[in-house]
Amino acid sequence: MNWKLIFLLSLFGLALGIASVFTLSPTVEFVFWIAATLIIAILIAKYANGKYFLHGFMVAVVNTFWVTLAQAALFYIYIASHPEYLQMVEKLPPALADHPRRLIVYRSPIIAIISGVFVGLFAWVASKVVNRLR
């Protein structure tokens, strides 16, 4: 495992996490995540020495950590620019709706796993394409 590569690629998550707090709408954020995922997958395929899926999975896990940290630490700024988040939270059971900041933390392992599989698969496919082009 190339932990330096994983950390460096996870900085996309830090940048997008901070951007999601201050400026990005969920729709625009999704487009940026797709672009970041493609770039990450290509860079993993190019610089990782095997275990492409695992590298992609771990980058997504660290990305999720950065996003969760940014959104939870800057929660009041986040909800000021994302009122739809509070509307979604209000529909949840009271045990979760009473703690919207904690919900960001509670949902992060699920998001990490789902995005990890997604990024891991992209990295694996990119490795097949990049290795074929070499």
For residues 40 and 59, the answer to whether their CB atoms sit within 8 Å is yes
Residue 97 confidence (pLDDT) above 80: no
Extents of the domains making up the chain? 3-133
Q: Three-class SS string for 30-97?
A: HHHHHHHHHHHHHHHHHHCCCCHHHHHHHHHHHHHHHHHHHHHHCHHHHHHHCHHHHHHHHCCCHHHH
How many Cβ atoms sit within 10 Å of the Cβ of residue 82? 18
Question: Residue 30 phi/psi, 5° resolution?
Answer: -60, -40
pLDDT tens per residue across span 29-60: 889 999 999 999 999 999 998 999 999 999 99
Q: Name the pTM for this structure.
A: 0.89
